[in-house]
Amino acid sequence: MVKRCCFLLSTILGFCLNVPGQELEFNSVRKLPPTLNSAAEEGMPLLSPDGRQLFFTRTLFAANSGGKFSGSDIWHSEGRGDVWRSPSNTIPAIMNTAAHNVLVGFDREGKKRFFVSASPYSPIDGIYYTERINDYWTRPQLIPIPGIDTRRFVGVYVSPDVDVVFLSMQGDDSYGEEDLYFSVKDKTGQWTVPRNMGGTLNTQGFEISPFLSNDKKRLYFASNGHGGEGDADIFYSERLYDSWETWSVPVNLGKMVNSAKFDAYFSIYGDSIAYFASNRDGQFADLYEAHVTRRATVLGDGQRYFTREDWQRELGASISQEIIFPETSTTLTPSQEELLFYVANKLQLRRSVMFHLVVLQTDDLERGEKRLKSVADYLTQSGISEDRIVTRQVESPEKAGRGVIAIRLFE
């Protein structure tokens, strides 16, 4: 029912393979402060590409452009971490009307914002975008997507590369209620009629709120048809064979994120922080923040960690397996950057080799995440793709206060 409460009217937006074990470990989940959550309904949180603005929808709110009962507005707040300013729905104002308005994505540079404005009296012909030129945002331009079915609820997410659009809707070929669909550009640059993503993802229940990971390999969504903790749970599925139609069996994100009530609209950034909406604490949904660590939990069939002899044979006995951050530092020294570049260069073409970065420390969690990010970012800058790097924090009393990151390799 919350799915319907959130967007009210029927035209609104609403590991099978032997791959390395990369799962999300949620360290903490908290409701965002009252500056962002109101007595109304909040949903669809999306972080801007620069990480400084959080966008979301607000429904049943008197300060919306058309009033309390007109539909949803797009709101945004500026800030970072635990400090967010009071939100505004002037983002610019051209994105909000008296209809239902939902931000559904950005381009990678943050110069374009994609959104949907839906009216109960007319079909959805596509999505709109506004582009920032100098200090101004252009008038909304329509991107036609044929075949969007608006008989029930419609949700949209636009990939930052603007090469694929995911939709949740009920079509003639749906398995049940809303299913997940995708649309891509054809050879002429036009968007295709949405195609059903198949029975591995879609059920007789509903599948909504799609969100694609930054590397385009994992799709997050919410469903009440795959079992789980309650009304709607958040799942992820891995993209297989670089196909938009072939996906692994969905994996539930677990009890830390999912509750016995409605949980949806999950988005994740840098494998370290995520946002979602849930009504676990009341009638209407609020916004939540989750701190995440990506970790290697179980090696795939036939995989193993490198022994010390393997390391010495591949990289040399003089190459350290540890990065040590003194005191409160979270940045790499030139010598550490040189070491990581050497390791990355040696193993760049050994694509089967995975990097497991482990923080051994008793420092605070946030500092550990920053240290992990420093090492992971420099490896990616040196040619190691993101999908070859997994991270984890482990308490280690003998390393107390030192902030040691151990580099473990497995294949």
Question: In terms of DSSP bridges, do strands 141-144 and 155-158 run parallel, antiparallel, or are they unpaired?
Answer: unpaired
pLDDT for position 364: 65
CA dist list (Å): 290 to 83, 256, 270, 397:
15, 9, 12, 26
3-class state of residue 358 by DSSP = strand
3-class state of residue 342 by DSSP = helix
pLDDT for position 315: 92
Domain-wise residue ranges, the chain: 2-296, 308-410
Evaluate whether the domain defined by 308-410 bears CATH number 3.30.1330.60: yes
Q: Give CA 157 to chain center in angstroms.
A: 11
CA dist list (Å): 68 to 37, 39, 60:
16, 12, 5
Phi (first) and psi of residue 263, to 5 degrees: -130, 125
CA distance 289 to 174: 32
| The 179-184 sheet, strands edge to edge | 155-158, 164-169, 179-184, 195-196
Answer yes or no: pTM beyond 0.75.
Answer: no
Q: Which of 304, 364, 277, 373 is nearest to 328 (CA)?
A: 364
HSE on the CB side for 295, CA within 13 Å?
Answer: 14
Six-digit token pair at 16?
């099978």
pLDDT for position 329: 85
Give the fold, CATH level 3, of 2-296: Tachylectin-2; Chain A (2.115.10)
The one-digit pLDDT tens for each residue of the chain (411 residues) are 345 333 333 333 333 333 334 467 788 899 999 989 999 999 999 999 988 999 999 999 888 888 888 888 999 999 876 688 999 998 777 888 888 899 999 999 999 999 998 877 677 889 999 999 988 999 999 999 999 877 778 999 999 999 999 999 999 999 999 999 999 999 999 999 999 999 999 999 999 999 999 888 899 999 999 988 888 999 999 888 888 998 988 889 988 899 999 999 999 987 678 999 999 998 999 999 998 876 544 456 677 888 888 899 899 988 988 888 877 888 999 999 999 999 999 999 888 898 988 877 655 667 888 888 999 999 999 999 988 888 876 654 444 446 788 898 888
pLDDT for position 362: 53
3-class state of residue 75 by DSSP = strand
pLDDT for position 22: 46
Phi (first) and psi of residue 309, to 5 degrees: -65, -40
